[in-house]
């Protein structure tokens, strides 16, 4: 219930529905003056049994866990949790100045979700940049997501660790809620997986260790993320991780369990699909946070192999593969990481001794855990194991592909929209550690098409731009660099240099004016 008078505001919080900067009523969403429990600003009467969500980051209650454990999770040299800011005026406590939409300049869209949009915002007074999460009030109420929004705000207010986004402030206007978050300038981890396709062992080890350190801290607070995936792992300007998106997260009381089904299909743990409980493992022992640890394993697999371990054409088929543990390792998968995956126990679970056995796994040998956030991350480098004769055999001998699509007598073909073909031939197109035989066609336009030679299907095209650059790695392997992705190709006939030379000739012909500039 919410009553608004000319000079007074009466706020009664019902069912724990509290707005950012005030209260959600049961019927509408109105902007009211914030009420902090125990302290009432002038002009406010009534009571608020739960702490209202203040416009600046409010003091958070100390969670029920050991303080020494929290400090160790933060790592040596990490600053202690910041004390809440209190303003004193005329001998009375007063809340910090509210922020308003007019205090910011809004720029590009950083991300979009089901209930929010994240945009780049610059504070006019300080020129500081924030990732501003904007939520539509009416949409939140219509979809019954008020509790989700409050829970996300509460969890973000509690977090104080370098590997998580930081909530600096919240405010609202008549139509929207605003969360001022730290801006991770280098974007999503997924972007780099797509660009490099697979990370080398040093990069995989370092970023996996940062995720492990972050989960150790998060689980120490009794919080399950429940939607951990590369899209929700951001990279700041120093290329350290910052985990985000706590819209589906849960903080567990000591006597409760999180058994609702949330998450992304490719990273969902088998116990969620079988027992429908995030706290009961697939092998029968109790573990409160196994779903996050399963997602961690899927992410590490993807960092190495370039693709998630469970893939199919729809969610149902993906779930069936997860339940049956139907996955395989590419031949070049890092052996130490593979032994971790093949373990019958989920390392990091309470029954396995917590996170210490996970940190001690041979894959993390050499990691200095206490100062990870102070270290310089290794340069992101693609993992490209050398192709062997055995690798060629597994794709079939080149002579087996001498079909009309490969050796067409005409200089044009329907796959290339009747463009003149300058060069064509079979290549193995890599996607992480996985490779597929394709027919590559360089045509006028210019275009670089690749075709499935077995099913006679056009699979895609390498985008041309002034920034496109070919690079021969050896006689067989060559790269085609584009602004958003590097394509890794292998010519089984050993004509990599010929491909690069021909692509360069076409590039110079098309972009000769650009080259002079």
Q: How many CB atoms lie within 10 A of CB 444?
A: 15
Centroid of chain to Cα 13: 35
Distance CA 225, CA 241 (A): 15
Question: Facing residues of 88 across strands?
Answer: 93
- Which phi-psi region, left, alpha or beta, contains residue 366 (left: φ > 0; alpha: ψ -120 to 50)? left
Question: Facing residues of 118 across strands?
Answer: 111, 133
Q: How many CB atoms lie within 10 A of CB 43?
A: 10
Helices (runs of H) and strands (runs of E) counted in the chain: 13, 21
Nearest to 258 by CA among 288, 303, 218: 288
Nearest to 146 by CA among 18, 295, 251: 18
User: Is residue 406 a contact partner of residue 439, using CB atoms and an 8 Å limit?
Assistant: yes
Whole-Å CA distances, 459 to 40, 70, 220, 270? 64, 50, 46, 32
Residue 326 annotated to the active site: no
Cis amide leading into 446 (omega within 30): yes
Inter-helix orientation angle 290-305/335-342, to 10°: 150
Residue written as token pair 């050896």: 474
Distance CA 450, CA 462 (A): 8
Centroid of chain to Cα 338: 22
User: Is residue 155 a contact partner of residue 249, using CB atoms and an 8 Å limit?
Assistant: yes
Helical residues (DSSP H) of 312-455, grouped into ranges: 315-323, 335-342, 355-359, 389-395
Helical residues (DSSP H) of 247-403, grouped into ranges: 270-274, 290-305, 315-323, 335-342, 355-359, 389-395
Catalytic residue among 154, 200, 216, 227: 227
Distance CA 417, CA 420 (A): 9
Tokens of 216: 């150790």
133 carries a ligand binding annotation: yes
* Binding annotation for ATP: 133
> Hey, which residues are catalytic here?
227
Going by the annotation, the residues of the binding site are 133
């Amino acid at each position: 219930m919410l009553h608004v008078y000319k000079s007074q505001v009466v706020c009664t919080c019902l069912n724990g529905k509290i707005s950012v900067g005030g209260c959600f009523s049961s019927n509408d969403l109105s902007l009211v003056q914030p009420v902090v429990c125990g302290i009432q600003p002038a002009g406010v009467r009534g009571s608020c049994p739960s702490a209202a969500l203040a416009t600046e980051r409010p003091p958070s209650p100390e969670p029920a866990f050991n303080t020494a454990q929290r400090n160790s999770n933060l790592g040596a040299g990490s600053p202690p949790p910041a004390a809440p800011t209190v303003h004193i005026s005329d001998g009375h406590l007063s809340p910090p100045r509210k922020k308003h939409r007019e205090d910011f300049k809004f720029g590009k869209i950083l991300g979009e979700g089901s209930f929010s949009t994240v945009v780049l915002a610059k504070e006019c007074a300080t020129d500081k940049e924030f990732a501003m999460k904007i939520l539509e009030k009416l949409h939140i109420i219509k979809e019954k997501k008020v509790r989700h929004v409050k829970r996300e705000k509460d969890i973000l207010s509690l977090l104080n660790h370098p590997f998580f986004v930081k909530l600096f402030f919240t405010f609202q206007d008549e139509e929207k809620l605003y969360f001022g978050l730290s801006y991770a300038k280098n974007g999503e981890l997924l972007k780099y997986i797509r660009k490099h396709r697979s990370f080398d062992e040093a990069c995989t080890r370092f970023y996996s260790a940062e995720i492990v350190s972050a989960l150790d801290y998060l689980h120490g607070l009794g919080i399950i993320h429940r939607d951990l995936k590369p899209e929700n792992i951001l990279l700041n300007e120093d290329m350290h991780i910052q985990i985000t998106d706590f819209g589906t997260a849960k903080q567990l009381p000591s006597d409760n369990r999180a058994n609702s089904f949330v998450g992304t299909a490719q990273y969902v743990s088998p116990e969620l699909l079988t027992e429908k409980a995030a706290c009961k493992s697939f092998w029968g022992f109790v573990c409160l946070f196994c779903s996050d640890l399963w997602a961690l394993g899927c992410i590490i697999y993807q960092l190495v192999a370039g693709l998630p371990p469970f893939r199919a054409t729809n969610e149902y088929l993906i779930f069936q593969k997860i339940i049956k543990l139907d996955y395989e390792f590419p031949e070049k998968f890092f052996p130490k990481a593979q032994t971790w995956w093949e373990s019958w126990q989920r390392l990091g679970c309470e029954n396995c001794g917590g996170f210490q056995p996970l940190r001690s796994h041979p894959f993390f040998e050499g990691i200095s855990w206490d100062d990870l956030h102070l270290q310089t991350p290794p340069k992101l480098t693609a993992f490209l194991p050398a192709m062997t004769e055995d690798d060629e055999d597994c794709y079939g001998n080149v002579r087996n592909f001498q079909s009309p699509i490969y050796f067409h007598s005409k200089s044009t073909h329907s796959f290339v929209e009747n463009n003149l073909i300058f060069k064509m031939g079979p290549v193995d197109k890599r996607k992480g550690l996985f490779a597929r035989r394709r027919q590559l066609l360089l045509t006028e336009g210019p275009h670089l098409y690749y075709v499935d030679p077995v099913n006679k299907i056009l699979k895609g095209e390498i985008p041309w731009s002034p920034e496109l650059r070919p690079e021969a790695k050896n006689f067989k392997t060559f790269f085609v660099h584009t602004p958003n992705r590097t394509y890794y190709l292998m010519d089984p006939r050993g004509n990599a240099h010929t491909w690069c030379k021909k692509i360069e000739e076409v590039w110079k012909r098309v972009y000769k004016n650009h080259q002079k500039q």
